Structure 1
Amino acid sequence: MDTNITFFRLSLKTCFLLLLGCLLTKAVQDQGSLYMWIDANQARILIGFEEDILIVSEGKMAPFTHDFRKAQQRMPAIPVNIHYVNFTWQATDQADYFYEFQSLRSMDRDIMDNPTVNLPLLGTVPHKPSVVQVGFPCLGDQDGVAAFEVTILVMDAGGNVILRTPHNAIFFKTCQRAKCPGGCRNGGYCNERQVCECQDGFYGPHCEKALCSPRCSNGGLCMSPGVCICPPGYHGNSCEKANCSATCLHGGTCFHPGKCICAAGYEGGRCELSKCRQPCKNGGRCTGVNKCKCSKGFHGDICSKAVCEPSCGAHGICVEPNKCQCRDGWHGRHCNKSQQLTPPCHPEGERERFPQS
């Protein structure tokens, strides 16, 4: 499921880039000081990725805008929750560039009014970064998708067209019931009290929030009931699992992409380094700087000594857990029994003589 969600998110990002970038295409020669982009804050609202989206750089269009006809077939309608798009533009040198909005037209006026812009329809491209806001004002009390066009030209000081909207470029905007200010999203509807009633799994004034239980962790976004979209580096139903490029060793746990929490006694990027200079023997485990926790039956700094209970005493050495090796003349499990010497034997037929009383 994580793979499908990631693919959906990337596809949504691509479609929005196509939509936003196709407002302009290159016309005549490149003009190296003209820039247009969508800043990271606006991009986060539009596509969920907080990064600048460069549309025009040094007068050159971004590659995703080159084939408008093919791109237009892949463009989605602007969603209900997007009411405007902010572009930032700038002419970086002292040359003057002029713009003209030739058309701002809705083809479905019962659903959406004509698009709006926040600056005069004719003017000069500023030399400092400035925002151009294109608005999509929904109308009426019905759901629907409105077609609209925005036509803009950018010219140099000699009147040559540098950039322009493709001919017959049509875009689309989704509108919902306007009785509830801001509209109702995710299948919610506006009731007679002008309050959004939400479908199961969604809540909020506009049904804009999805309910995920447990909550999406590590910056994950709840996109629909029980479905989290995870940020790069995480996966799992609640984005609770980190993608580690390498496996954490010696019982370490991956807690962040490429980072491990190491078990006691280990360190390093993958917990590959022991804090004990000499490895712990006989199944012992390093628990600190040159500290070993020994398994049952062994003791010592590096768990090299066996344990015998009770001990082998003064006449034996413990060589394995509860196994003694006895010195000459001693035997028994704990080397506590002395070997008795037997009297010498006499040759056959020879009898010991005792003095007569």
Structure 2
Amino acid sequence: MGLSCCSSALLRMGLLLASLALFVSICEARLEASRGVAIPFVFDPKAICDPPCKHAGICIRNNTCFCSKGYEGEVCQYANCYPKCKNGGECLRPGKCRCPPGFGGKYCHKVVCDGGCWNGGDCIAVNGVVKCLCPSSWTGSRCQEALCPQGCRNGGSCVAPGICSCPDGWLGGACHTAVCKRPCLNGGKCVSPDVCRCRPPFSGPRCEERKKLF
């Protein structure tokens, strides 16, 4: 009876020592693993990381960092934004993107036109280039210029789609009609502000004079 008990105790002791030796060998192998190898979490309080882990990362074994949430990289040097920064944005810290010109929003997902788009224009990005998409009858970098298909003549300017603002002495949809404050007589035609073109045999500023025939 006593011999049997001793044999069982020795067997259990042998199994325990074998298990301990196996555990030690596994730990030593993990400590010697190269940086970046994916192995189960094992913390070695004597581990040294050179360079040191950044952003509150923990050195869990030699040259292997366990990064805090929102950071990644061999020494936790890179911030990780989720969702990822879009349109070429740079992740500065978790949840904070630095956006390139023309883009905004928390993740650089919004297109932003400097000065805005006027007159109903939409701010869009085409192949990374930000610009205003203008409605019909408007043009310019910010859709600020109206289009007059008929054209504005004689120094007139297009102030709204199809509408010309004419200088003094001109009228009409295209500023094409001259205005004579005193009307031309005897069939004369106003060809420019206060200038009449007379029909023969009339002359004078208002075509009021008849030429004498000899």
Give the TM-score range, shorter chain: 0.3 to 0.5
Higher relative contact order (CA 8 A, sep 6+): 1
Structure 1 length-normalised TM: 0.24
Pick the structure with more strand per residue.
Answer: 1
Q: Which has the larger radius of gyration?
A: 2
Structure 2 length-normalised TM: 0.38
